[in-house]
């Protein structure tokens, strides 16, 4: 019951106080420029990286990015900037 109440309060605050959903709902913010650049904010950590795949832990599930020639340009505790040729961006639910 407490979990549902918390979700209700977050949704109410987002709708009535005009706060961004990614902040209030603890969702990742993903900014992509074409197929060559992706910036992800509000993730929970790097799970796997290769030149063809990046896997991030999210609050709910994981984010999987597939492609070629990946290079991590910036990595911070909750932000990552990836460059390369991006073919797929997939959410994986637990």
Residues 6+ apart with CB under 8 A from 72: 49, 54, 80, 81, 82
- Does some domain include residue 43? yes
**Any idea what DSSP says for residue 27?**
-
**Any idea what DSSP says for residue 44?**
-
Query: So what's the pLDDT on residue 33?
Result: 95
Say what the pTM is: 0.75
Q: Can you give the CATH number for the domain in which 45 is found? A: 2.60.40.2000
pLDDT along the chain (94 residues), means of 10: 69 64 72 96 96 96 97 96 98 88
Query: So what's the pLDDT on residue 27?
Result: 86
Predicted confidence (pLDDT) per residue in 52-65, tens digit: 999 999 988 999 99
Query: So what's the pLDDT on residue 5?
Result: 75
Q: Give the count of domains, the chain.
A: 1
Q: Which domain holds residue 42?
A: 27-92
- Does some domain include residue 66? yes
- The CA distances from residue 14 to 3, 18, 45, 60, 68, in Å, are 17, 5, 25, 19, 37
Task: Tell me the Ramachandran region of residue 63: left when phi exceeds 0, alpha when psi lies from -120 to 50, beta otherwise.
Answer: beta
d(CA 38, CA 4) in angstroms, rounded, equals 33
- Does some domain include residue 13? no
């Amino acid at each position: 019951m407490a979990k549902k109440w918390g979700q209700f309060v977050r949704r109410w605050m987002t709708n009535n106080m005009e706060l961004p959903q990614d902040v209030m709902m603890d969702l990742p913010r993903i900014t992509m420029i074409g197929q060559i650049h992706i910036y992800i904010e509000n993730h929970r950590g790097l799970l796997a990286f290769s030149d063809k795949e990046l896997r991030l832990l999210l609050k709910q599930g994981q984010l999987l990015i597939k492609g070629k020639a990946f290079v991590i340009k910036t990595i911070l505790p909750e932000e990552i900037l990836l460059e390369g040729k991006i073919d797929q961006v997939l959410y994986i639910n637990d």
